[in-house]
Structure 1
Amino acid sequence: MKIIVCVKQVPDAKDVRLDPVTNTLAREGVESIMNPYDQHALEEAVRLVEAHGGEVTVVTMGPPQAEDVLRQAISCGADNGVLVTDRAFAGADTWATSYTLERTVRTLGNFDLVLCGKQAIDGDTAQVGPGLATRLDIPYVTCVQKVREISGAAIVVERMMDDGYDVVKTDLPALLTVVKDINEPRVPSLKGKMKAKKAVIRRLTAADIGADPACIGLPGSPTQVMRVFPPQARGARAVLTGSIDEQIDQLVAKLAPYL
């Protein structure tokens, strides 16, 4: 089976900051990593191919340095890496991103399954996976915690819910977004690292995927961050001092009028 995994290079959570001019994430000089949820999507794709045969192609949209996450993916078992990179993609929101990825997937050709992480830790919207599936006109299941079975042209999965899980069967091709409970990502082997070092990463531009300039990047994004500001403090604050017993007495005295 042919599996496409969409991954994203994100700023390390401890280094996230915003560009004060564009109000978008500042990436220069910030350590970047593969989005943690995407690591689990990659691992699941590799396991499925190990069990059923086929190939795993990993796709990322980003600047040239995003090639690093593709080589990381290959070191962990992926077969191919595709970097979709163009200055015109800069500042894309989830709508423009899902459009760009849809054009990329169609450029790559036939597939059986698309896997994505549940969400990216820099945006936390969880919109790109479902948006991509909608544009591809294929069924999708979100928050998948286990792939139970792939038989013929159908797949059976468990979808995590607040009070347990649903068992969902859907036709292929399909798209799944996965949660961290689905597996434990492997550590790259020495052989995998050597393969990744030698791998030829395919690069695609906006022209290569036939993207409409009006639908990509910041100009093609219907949602944009116009202003960033800290929330105003609400209500009076009080600092309790002294020993624990003294602080308890102070707290009781302050709450008494409201009881």
Structure 2
Amino acid sequence: MAESLMPLIVALLRWTDARARIDPLSGEVETDPRGAGPSEADRCALEHALRIAEAAGGRCAAVTLAPEPAEEMLRDALACGADAVLRVDVPSWDSRVPDSGATTARALAHAIRTELGEPSLVLTGDHSADRGTGSTPAFLAAELGCAQALGLVELSYADGELLALRRLDRGRRERLAVPLPAVCSVEPAGVRLRRAALPSTLAARRAEIPVVAGAVAAEPVTAHAARPFRPRAKELPPPPEADPRLRLLRLTGAHEHREPPRVVVTDDPAEAADELLEYLRGKGYL
């Protein structure tokens, strides 16, 4: 992969508290910046970005859209070998407001293009630990106008080609040749983020983290009606009796004859099959 084809590989990191606490009375979510950081899927994405950048001779950049405490996460990315980092600063918004990921992807795409240049490959985790929708990579691919390959378990670069393996239903796998530029999301499988060396860690602690302003607007939601959920009532035929007591007995089925359950214990498979077939015939299934 020539440098002109892939000069920039971007790993997007989501800063979130994996041990958030929820108030059982109010439903408020309490987070602690000291326990926040990237998810395992995001760490896996960063490791893939570092490996592909080394194989392609390109640059690896780690980007996050988060408040100031997330800069420690970016310093860890620098210590692991990232060539550049960028934090997109946005004002805090109500986490209870629905967010499809479109506005987040728009802010990230604008910041990456403005500060780092046109990316050839963007890697993310398959879903974030706080919302878990996994829709931001798809919106980001639409913003950048490039291909997308989501939910990958393997990602490698060989002979000028980006190869991927995606998990499918029923244990199947799908091998992909991903055209560039592209946005890929990876599952936390197959690789682990490398351990940073002590000199790199010390140097990253003194590095200056570039910050740009971003804008993430909450998506409007229109509430047409607000009412508690009530399941549909079960419709029953009216009882023919006029006596209220008999009508209540008919509705509850208290005096109806019911066949007691049977427990059949046998070591003979043929006998067990005959008992099952006889039961199904008696119920009208056969």
Structure 1 residue 109 displacement after superposition: 1.2
Distance 2:106 2:67 in 1: 17
Q: Can you list the C-alpha shifts for 1:100-132, whole angstroms capped at 9, x where unaligned?
A: 112122212122110001111111111111111
Please give the residue correspondences for 1:127-206 in structure 2 after superposition, counting only pairs within 5 Å: 127-152=135-160, 154-162=161-169, 163-206=171-214
Determine the structure 2 residue equivalent to 1:6.
12
| 1:119–1:84 CA distance, 2 compared to 1 (3 A) | same
RMSD, aligned CA = 3.0
Determine the structure 1 residue equivalent to 2:54.
50
SS of residue paired to 2:61: strand
Distance 1:224 1:31 in 2: 35
| 1:66–1:60 CA distance, 2 compared to 1 (3 A) | same
Determine the structure 2 residue equivalent to 1:69.
73
Q: Can you list the C-alpha shifts for 1:14-50, whole angstroms capped at 9, x where unaligned?
A: x3437998x7754356621212210000011111122
Determine the structure 1 residue equivalent to 2:108.
101
TM-score (norm 1): 0.74
* Structure with larger RCO (C-alpha < 8 A, sep 6+): 1
Give the count of matched residue pairs: 218
| 1:20–1:31 CA distance, 2 compared to 1 (3 A) | farther
Determine the structure 1 residue equivalent to 2:273.
none
Contact 1:144–1:179 (8 Å) recurs in 2: yes
Structure 2 residue corresponding to 1:17, chosen from 22, 28, 31: 22
| 1:87–1:81 CA distance, 2 compared to 1 (3 A) | same
Q: Can you list the C-alpha shifts for 1:130-174, whole angstroms capped at 9, x where unaligned?
A: 11111111101011122243444x422111222221111122111
Structure 1 residue corresponding to 2:123, chosen from 111, 115, 118: 115
Matched to 1:75, the amino acid is: A
Contact 2:71–2:87 (8 Å) recurs in 1: yes
TM-score (norm 2): 0.67
| 1:79–1:18 CA distance, 2 compared to 1 (3 A) | farther
Determine the structure 2 residue equivalent to 1:38.
42
| 1:78–1:25 CA distance, 2 compared to 1 (3 A) | farther
SS of residue paired to 2:157: strand
Matched to 1:217, the amino acid is: A
Matched to 2:136, the amino acid is: V
Matched to 1:36, the amino acid is: E
Contact 1:90–1:217 (8 Å) recurs in 2: no
| 1:159–1:29 CA distance, 2 compared to 1 (3 A) | closer
| 1:18–1:188 CA distance, 2 compared to 1 (3 A) | farther
Query: Greater CA radius of gyration, 1 or 2?
Result: 2
SS of residue paired to 2:22: coil
Contact 1:98–1:131 (8 Å) recurs in 2: yes
Mean Cα deviation higher: 95-104 or 85-94: 85-94
Distance 2:150 2:185 in 1: 5
Matched to 2:51, the amino acid is: R
> Identity percentage over the alignment?
25
Structure 1 residue 178 displacement after superposition: 0.5
Matched to 1:3, the amino acid is: I
Distance 2:24 2:152 in 1: 34
Matched to 1:68, the amino acid is: E
Contact 1:5–1:116 (8 Å) recurs in 2: yes
Listed as ranges, the gaps of 5+ residues in structure 2 are: 1-6, 224-228, 231-259, 263-278, 280-286
Structure 1 residue 90 displacement after superposition: 6.3
